[in-house]
Every structure is written in C-alpha cells, then in structure tokens.
Structure 1
Amino acid sequence: MSKYVSSNLGFPRIGREREWKKAIEAFWNGKINEGELHDRLSDIRRTHWRLQQEKGIELIPVGDFSYYDQVLDMTVMFGLVPERFEYKGGPVPLATYYAIARGNESAAASEMTKWFNTNYHYIVPELGGREPELTKNTPLEAYREAKSELGIEGKPVLLGLYTFLKLSKGTPSFSIEEWSRKLLPLYVQVLRELQEEGASWVQIDEPALVTSVSDEDLELVQEIYGAIAQEVPGLAVLLQTYFDSAERYEQIVSLPVKGIGLDFVHGKAGNLEALRQYGFPADKTLGIGLIDGRNIWRTDLPEAQVLLEAIAALIPGSSEYIIQPSCSLLHVPVSAQAENGLPSVLQESLAFAEEKLDEINALSIAAKTGDAPALFAKSKEALQRLAGDASRSRREVQEAVSTISVQPSERSSVFSSRRLKQQAKWNLPLLPTTTIGSFPQTAEVRAARQKWRKGEWSTEKYDEFVAAEIKKWIDIQEEIGLDVLVHGEFERTDMVEFFGEKLPGFAFTRGGWVQSYGTRCVKPPLIYGDVEFDRPMTVKETAFAQSLTSKPVKGMLTGPVTILNWSFVRSDISRETVAYQIALALRKEVEALEEAGITMIQVDEPALREGFPLKPKDRSAYLDWAVKAFKISTSTVRETTQIHTHMCYCEFHDMLDSIQALDADVISIETSRSHGELIRSFEENTYPLGIGLGVYDIHSPRVPSEEEMVAMISRALQVLDPELFWINPDCGLKTRGQEETVAALKNMASAAQRSRNSLASASLGI
C-alpha cells in the first residue's frame, strides 16, 4: 500500500500582524538592539513551526525563515560579500548583511530583482574576486533549534546550487561552471553536516529547472547532484521544482536523489504529460504540489483528490508520495481568520497560508484513509457559491471585452509627429527632470489617513490635509527646479490598492499582507468579480495640483497589467480577460484626466515583466495581450497629450521590443541599482522614444552625490539620444524621508544642469 506524507515547502515569515517587519525596522531605527532582534525573530520562527505541527504537517520546513531574503542568506553563508563592503571573513555581521541589501553611507546596495515571475524580490548575489568560505551552516542551526527547542524533526530547506548560480551575476569573465567548482565542496559540507546531525529529508529548491535548461546547464546539474550523491551517500534529498513544469524532465527525474517535487498547479499540464510519456522512477518519492501556493482561493479538494489519484495511477510502482503546496507559502498572507469584514460569499472562499495547511492535511487524511474530511464538502460549496455570485455576471463588462478586437488600441499618429507637437506645447528644456510619482508617506500622512478611515476625521478635514501636503510638495518641487511635477500621491496607500478600492470587482482584506522585498509588505487586492469603471478616481487631486503651478503636473495611474499582476486574481476566467476589463476601466480614467486639462499622464507598468512566462514558448502570447491592454488604456488621447510609463527592478533586456511597442511617449526605467547594466542593452538596440533611466536608487537611504548622477547620465548619453532623454529617480519616493528626498532631488537637478551645460559646450566645440 502506498504511503502518503503531508509536507510544506515554506511559510510566510512576516507574522500575522507583520511582527517580523516591525522588529527589523525597530532594529534599523535603533529602538532595539541586536540581541532583542534575535529574540523577537526567534519567537516568530518557533510560532510558525508549532503552527505547522498543530496543523498536522509531517515534514515541516526549517531554514526557510530569513532576516531579509533567502538568496541573500545563501550569499552570506558562503561569505560572498561584495568587495565594496568592509568584510574581513568569518561570520558576516548583521550590519554588513543589511548593508548589502540596503546600502550604507560608503557603498551602494546590491541589485534587487524579481524572484522568477512573482512579486517577491531577491538580492542578486555578486560573485567576484572574493573566494567563498562557509561562514556558518544556517540550515543546520535552524534544524537544531527546531529539534532542541520544540522537538520537531524539521526538513531543512536550501536554495539549490544551480538556481543560486543562475540568479547570480559576476565580472565579465564570470563562469557558472567555475563558480560551481568553487562552491560545490562548501555546499556538500553543509549537506554532510545536516546528515550527520540526523536530518531525514533535505529540501533543495531548484526553481530554475522549470526555465530553459541548455545542454551545458544539464551537464552542470548532473555534475552537482552526482557529487552530492557521492559525497553524502544516503542523504534523502527532495529536489523541489515549482512555478511551472520541469524542463528536461526525463533527465531530472533520473538524478541521484531520493525525491522530486513537481508543481501540479502552475505546471499541471506539462508535468502530467511528462509523467504519461516518461513515467516516474519506482525508487523515488514524488512530491505532488496540489495546493496553490501563489493564490488565496480555497482548493476544490474533491477535484484535487481526483488529480492525486490520477497521478498515482500514472506511477504504479511508487510506494511513497508527499502531498504539499505547489511552492512555498511565502507568496500568500498568513491567516484568513481576521477577514470577517468581507461579503460572506467571498470570505468563505479564502485560504491563506494557515488554511492551506488545513487543506494539505485534509488531502493527506483522505489519501491515507479513503474518507474525505468535512473540509472537502465545505470547500466545494464555498467555491460554487462564489461562481454564482452576481459580481461575476456584469453583462456590459463582458460584452465590451468580447468586442476587444475592434476597440481602439493605437494612437492617432506616430511618435515622431506627436513629439514635435508635445514639445511645442510644453517647451521643456533638454534633459527634462521629473520624479516617478510619490513623495514621502510620513508618519503624519499615515496617521491622518487612519483617523479618516476610523471616522475620527471628516472627509472634509482629511481632504484639507491632503491638499496641504500637495501644496507643500508642489512648492518644494518648484524650489528645487524640477521641470515636470507630480502631486505626490498622499491620498494613496498603495499604487494598486488605491485603484482597486474604487473599481467594482475588487475586494480588500484586513490582514492580507505579503512580503514584496525586505520589510516592504503589500496587501494585494482580490479581483473576484467583473471589473468596471464607476467614477473618476484621480482627477480631483491632480487638477488641484495643476492649479498651483504653471509647470505640467503628471496624472498618475497604475497600468492594467500591474494591477493584474499585483493582485490575487480570480481563477475562473483567463488573466488576459481580466487585464482587458481593467484596461477598459482605466481608459475612462485617462479620458477624464484629459478632459480636466491634465495632458501629461503616467500609466505605470512596473510589473509588466513580472508576469513574463518562465518558458520561452509562452512569452510571445503574454506580451501580445499585455501590450494590448496597456494600449487600450492609453490610445484614445489627443496627439498633444503625453503618455508616460514606468518600470522597475526587472530584467528588461529581452523584452525591449515589447517595451517599445507600448508606444508610450516617455518611459522611465530603473538602472541605478543594477549599476547601469541596462544601458548595455541600448548599445545593441536603438530606442527611438522618450526614455528616462533612473539615476539613483530610492530603496537605499543614502543620498547619492551629484557626481554619481552626472556619471550615470554621461554613461546613458553615450547610447541614447539627448533629445529624448529624461532625468528621474528610479522609482517612487514614498518610502523615503523628506530630508533625504529633498537632498537627493537637489543633487539630481544640479546633475541635470551640469549635463546640459556639458552638452552645450560639446556642441560649440568648447
């Protein structure tokens, strides 16, 4: 008889009330010392282990907890601290750990980018001149802690060496094979010490194995796992893939490991086909990812049980199966227990991390006993009620989307013609300066919003407060000398939440927080019904700001694809259809802004790259509808209305054609944190539209010097047309303080003027 084991792949580290975030930020602000930080985070970690034990999880992950980011953890575990930081070897001090992530007064932070196609960001390892060393065995420490403190025989979790290397960057001579040879002995040492300590299973995460795997990469993977099997014989390794179906399936399942974990939610079709075609080794354990680790809806448990039985029937020789989520639960909120403010049809359909543990346990019990727990019927009934809700049958919305092929999606004239008319209208200087949209959300701003939400302030009083903040920052921008201004977004909590609150079809949780990067947590909206425009959302504040200045003020919107990718999305219709619904709603907002006299409108798409399919064969279709959704939102404006967009913290070099296809008059794009690497892409690819490459990193508290920004501008102007070049920070400024924001923008404005002077001198041959 087959054996079924319940398992989890990872748990959200932030805590129900974001205790993790609050503790770390208290440490950064000097309110607690390092010892107190360790104590607080240890309490959170142990609480999560106990919870999983109480929920019936048999293989509880340990080592998935982090003080910032799990990729950074592996970087410092091997002593790979960038040379610009003061580090002499041995265990990496906590101050250095956080400096790599955030920068400090003397050194810039390491690059941050998306974790595959999720909204989580990791710190990119920099592999350079420093030789690696094992500074401490972090997974071993976690395993010992869980066992000694709670009596839990945990399952240590490590990032796979292949994935770590694929996510890393290095010098121009960087070689993944060379670094594999350097790191493999240390990696083996980590595993050997875990085996000696008694670990029964070790989970090695290799999500890079669902992306393109070349022949050379496959040889490297085989070399890595061959060495592990030889050097640590008998260690039960679960090689875990997720986010899509495994590439090179036949070779991957033949690796000398005890178990293989596959995603049967986001990689269902590909993994099922691979099982049918190639089978599964009888001497291995299959980890079956049945619970969606990336969305917040209940699982249809009867349907999942049918899938489980179908998978088991495809591999009749196997004796053990692991029932688990599709990926780590890091990507969903912690608990749905507090979500009693939602409509009942929606509330009963939610499953956050804690509820997903119940689902794993229920499936495991059903598999072991043949009897379905009560949760099966409860889940099925809740999902059926949601499917029949009136919010999912808005006829006008559905009819509009059904005619999407005849909806306008092109501007009335080409960029070269629009640009001349826009320049004649605005008469902007060479290298115009602007910001991305938001200004500091101070404690005072947040407190005012809370007072208004709680009813302590009237709407009139709150509006007066927001208006005062807008005026203050319009005056500051005028004083600094920026050319194109913004209203500051003081009325907005989050760039997606703000719009979702005003669009039917969205709902909002009380505690549905997830980690985006570091201690930055976001509360994604739930898109549960058809989305439609109800009333203007941004006109009042933007028009007020424009009334205060003769300089142009940009209208600020979040684009349809970003709203989609930064929300938890209904699963009964395609994401493409939802994107078109949002796009049609935003088009009406763009038209309302234009009607109110706002003729510079920024429609941000920072998450366009985030939805990029991991498999090359799927990318063209995604980019086609993502670009179309953006253009549906922006295509009906007049020639003289200038459309801006913004993107940040992604790899863009492989989608420059699609970025150009957006046909935005100006795009601002991050380049500071990646140390200008994007600029190299423009050496081989001409970009003929307006573009601003962010000249400083807003996610670090340091104020960059004028000289740094001049150097960045000069580097960009080697490959970009100065007539089309804008100067801006790389992202919004809501997380920064007022003093540092003003100082940095003053330096930016001075750098722009120096660069203009240099261009003028060069044109005169001086």
Structure 2
Amino acid sequence: MKKLLPTSTSGSLPKPAWLAQPETLWSPWKLQDQELTEGKQDALRVSLQEQQQAGIDIVSDGEQTRQHFVTTFIEHLSGVDFENRKTVKIRDRYDASVPTVVGAVSRQKPVFVEDAKFLRQQTKQPIKWALPGPMTMIDTLYDDHYHSREKLAWEFAKILNQEAKELEAAGVDIIQFDEPAFNVFFDEVNDWGIAALERAIEGLKCETAVHICYGYGIKANTDWKKTLGSEWRQYEEVFPKLQKSNIDIISLECHNSRVPIELLELIRGKKVMVGAIDVATNTIETPEEVANTLRKALQFVDADKLYPCTNCGMAPLSRQVARGKLNALSAGAEIVRRELLAKS
C-alpha cells in the first residue's frame, strides 16, 4: 500500500562546512579535482542519511553536488560563455552577474546522471531529482545569440528533455523542474512557458513535478515579499493552465506565506507538494504548525494527492536548523496521517 502523505523536500539542503562555505548561496567549493568528487559523494551520503533519520519518504541528493540550482546545469552546456559575464536583473528583483549565451546551446554529455546513479545505489526509497526549468534558465543568463526568450527556452527544453530521459533511466522516480520565474512572468508562462515545460517532459514515464515558490530566504526575496501586499495571488495567473498540463505534481509555498489557500482549488486533480516549512526563518516549526498547514490544504487537495514538503530549498540555512525543520515536517505529517486513518 502506498504511504499516505509522503514527505519530501524542495531540493537543496545545507552543505557540510568542509565542502563549501555554510549558509551561503553560490558558495565556492573548498576542495578540488578528485577530492571534490569524493567530497560531493560523501556530502550526498550525509544528506541522504539526515533525510532518512528525519523520516523523509521521498529523498533527494540535497543538491550537494551542485553549486547553484540553475548555473551548475548551464555550466555543462556549450554555447554559453562564463568568462564573458553581464549584469542582469533576475526575476525582476535583484542584479546578478551571469554568463552570456554566445552561440547555439547544446548538451555534449550528461550533467547529473552519474550523481543520480550514485544516489540510486545508496537507497531503495523513491528518489526525486531537481532540474532548472526552461524559463528560470533563460532568466539567469544574458542572451547575445537568440535574442528571443522564447526561442532560447525551447532550446533549453530540448536539452532538459535529453537529461531527464537519462535521469529516468538511472532510476529517478520523480523529476522536478524548478520554475520560480513562473511567479513573475505570467504572460510568458501562459503564452509559451508551460508549453516549453511540457516539451522538457516529453516521453517521460516517471513522475514529473514543477516547483514554483517565492524564493530562498535571502534578503532580495524577503524584501520583494514585503511589497506583495496582504494576499499573494501570483499562483492564480498560472494554475489554471498548469492544471490542464501534463505535469503530474505541482510544488508550492504555503506555510507563513500570504498565499490564499483556496487557490489550491485551481489545481484540483493534480498531486500537490504543499510547502509546510518556511525556509526564510531560523525558527523551527512545531509539528502542530506543520499539521495545521496540511489540514488547511486538505480542504482543496485530496488526501491521496497531498505531499508535505518544504517551501523552497534550505541551502542558506544552518545544518542544525534544517535538521530540525525536516524532523518537524515528518512529525507534522504523521499527526495528520493518523487523523486521516482514524476517519477512514
């Protein structure tokens, strides 16, 4: 029997201090060459064990093998120049120095497939692997070749599809595409963003997810959230079309956010990874707080389709805080699981 309310994380977990600078995004590696390869694998083992000890049901690599959820994938593609950097505004919020697309983009070799095989060897649990979505990739670059966001997104979608098929063959159960850009560029999402995402999942038999959140708990994001008013209704713009899409699971931010919970009705029928852990604070949720968020979500998501999750990645947090939050997520899900089973 399939477990009710299986828990998972959005993706990133803090890296050990011997591998990279703690509590920092885009943190540089402290090792190199063969030592770095082994260090990443050791960190992946540790991250997996922390998830298992906390009782997380669908495990991931904690993104231990990549420096950043978007650029690490792009680094492996041809047609992108990392020396020639430009400053662009990412997701209309903050400036970042990004690489430049200088020619046709293509993938010469698999990017994460070896890492995924390594994770698969470590556990019999279902595993989830995160890839950047096409729209979030184009938003993290300066395009000096295609001069069209849409054209570049379609090229990335084809490349992501190649990678996703190989990840599936390596034994990944759920492939998740991270699309925080879906909360910003609504017209583009509906015009071609969801279509590009569907191109990225074409032909996959494993489950697919799209993760749309309000970002890591970094200052640029928390400042932006303060400007959004008392209700965050961004999801309303993209959910109707996502509900009709071929994506199996929609992963979103709920806990401590101002997202009106009834917006979940717009994706009724889809599986939903409900963010019940706030990643923008060091305060560790109580199991009861987690349970409360899940109970609210259950008004709009059928119990067999609800997957308790974190709001976003936890890379910028301390390991101790992240561990506490994972434990709270499991304990909160268990409270609601018992309530549901008692009713059935």
TM-score normalized by the length of structure 2: 0.86
Report the 3-state secondary structure (helix = DSSP H, G, I; strand = E; otherwise coil) of the residue aligned with 1:667.
strand
Report the 3-state secondary structure (helix = DSSP H, G, I; strand = E; otherwise coil) of the residue aligned with 1:579.
helix
Q: Deviations over 1:526-585 (max 9, x none)?
A: 223211121100111111111111101112211111101222223753211111111111
Report the equivalent of 1:633: 200
Report the equivalent of 2:326: 745
- Give yes or no for the alignment of 1:608 onto 2:190: no
1:522 and 1:740 mapped to 2: Cα distance?
27
Map 1:178-257 to 2 at 5 A: none
CA contact (8 A) 1:433 1:726 kept: yes
1:522 offset after TM fit, Å?
Answer: 4.8
Q: Which amino acid aligns with 1:585?
A: I
Map 1:682-721 to 2 at 5 A: 682-683=264-265, 685=266, 687-721=268-302
Report the equivalent of 2:220: none
CA contact (8 A) 1:438 1:488 kept: yes
1:435–1:686 distance in 2 versus 1, CA, 3 Å: closer
Report the equivalent of 1:112: none
2:125 and 2:190 mapped to 1: Cα distance?
35
Report the equivalent of 1:644: 209
Report the equivalent of 1:733: 314
Report the equivalent of 1:668: 251
- Give yes or no for the alignment of 1:681 onto 2:263: yes
1:738 offset after TM fit, Å?
Answer: 0.5
1:635–1:529 distance in 2 versus 1, CA, 3 Å: same
Map 1:290-305 to 2 at 5 A: none
CA contact (8 A) 2:85 2:99 kept: no
Report the equivalent of 1:532: 106
Map 1:263-282 to 2 at 5 A: none
- Give yes or no for the alignment of 1:501 onto 2:65: no
Q: Deviations over 1:172-206 (max 9, x none)?
A: xxxxxxxxxxxxxxxxxxxxxxxxxxxxxxxxxxx
Q: Which amino acid aligns with 1:733?
A: M
1:569 and 1:464 mapped to 2: Cα distance?
34
Greater share of strand: 2
- Give yes or no for the alignment of 1:435 onto 2:2: no
1:445–1:510 distance in 2 versus 1, CA, 3 Å: farther
Q: Deviations over 1:401-440 (max 9, x none)?
A: xxxxxxxxxxxxxxxxxxxxxxxxxx53111100011110
Q: Deviations over 1:489-548 (max 9, x none)?
A: 12212111101101112122587677869x997543322321112110011111111111
1:510–1:748 distance in 2 versus 1, CA, 3 Å: farther
Report the 3-state secondary structure (helix = DSSP H, G, I; strand = E; otherwise coil) of the residue aligned with 1:662.
coil
1:656 and 1:590 mapped to 2: Cα distance?
23
Which of 305, 312, 320 aligns to 1:724? It is: 305
1:593–1:522 distance in 2 versus 1, CA, 3 Å: same
2:281 and 2:96 mapped to 1: Cα distance?
18
Q: Deviations over 1:427-471 (max 9, x none)?
A: 53111100011110354322595444xxxx3x2211110111011
TM-score normalized by the length of structure 1: 0.40
Which of 460, 472, 479 aligns to 2:46? It is: 472
2:248 and 2:153 mapped to 1: Cα distance?
22
1:704 offset after TM fit, Å?
Answer: 1.4
Q: Which amino acid aligns with 2:59?
A: L
Unaligned runs of 5+ in 2: 22-26, 215-231
CA contact (8 A) 2:16 2:43 kept: no
CA contact (8 A) 1:509 1:523 kept: no
1:515–1:747 distance in 2 versus 1, CA, 3 Å: farther
Q: Which amino acid aligns with 2:13?
A: F
Report the 3-state secondary structure (helix = DSSP H, G, I; strand = E; otherwise coil) of the residue aligned with 1:498.
helix
2:142 and 2:256 mapped to 1: Cα distance?
28
1:699 offset after TM fit, Å?
Answer: 1.6
- The structure whose RCO (Cα within 8 Å, separation 6+) is larger is 2
CA contact (8 A) 2:85 2:100 kept: no
- Give yes or no for the alignment of 1:588 onto 2:170: no
1:681 offset after TM fit, Å?
Answer: 1.7
1:679 and 1:464 mapped to 2: Cα distance?
43
Q: Which amino acid aligns with 1:601?
A: I
Unaligned runs of 5+ in 1: 1-426, 613-618
1:514–1:626 distance in 2 versus 1, CA, 3 Å: closer
Q: Deviations over 1:1-29 (max 9, x none)?
A: xxxxxxxxxxxxxxxxxxxxxxxxxxxxx
1:523 and 1:542 mapped to 2: Cα distance?
29
1:548–1:522 distance in 2 versus 1, CA, 3 Å: farther
2:276 and 2:49 mapped to 1: Cα distance?
23
Report the equivalent of 2:241: 658
Map 1:23-172 to 2 at 5 A: none
CA contact (8 A) 1:565 1:610 kept: no
Report the 3-state secondary structure (helix = DSSP H, G, I; strand = E; otherwise coil) of the residue aligned with 1:536.
coil
1:696–1:705 distance in 2 versus 1, CA, 3 Å: same
Tell me the C-alpha RMSD between the 2 structures.
2.4
1:461–1:520 distance in 2 versus 1, CA, 3 Å: farther
CA contact (8 A) 2:84 2:100 kept: no
1:437 and 1:529 mapped to 2: Cα distance?
30
1:606 and 1:635 mapped to 2: Cα distance?
21
Aligned residues: 320
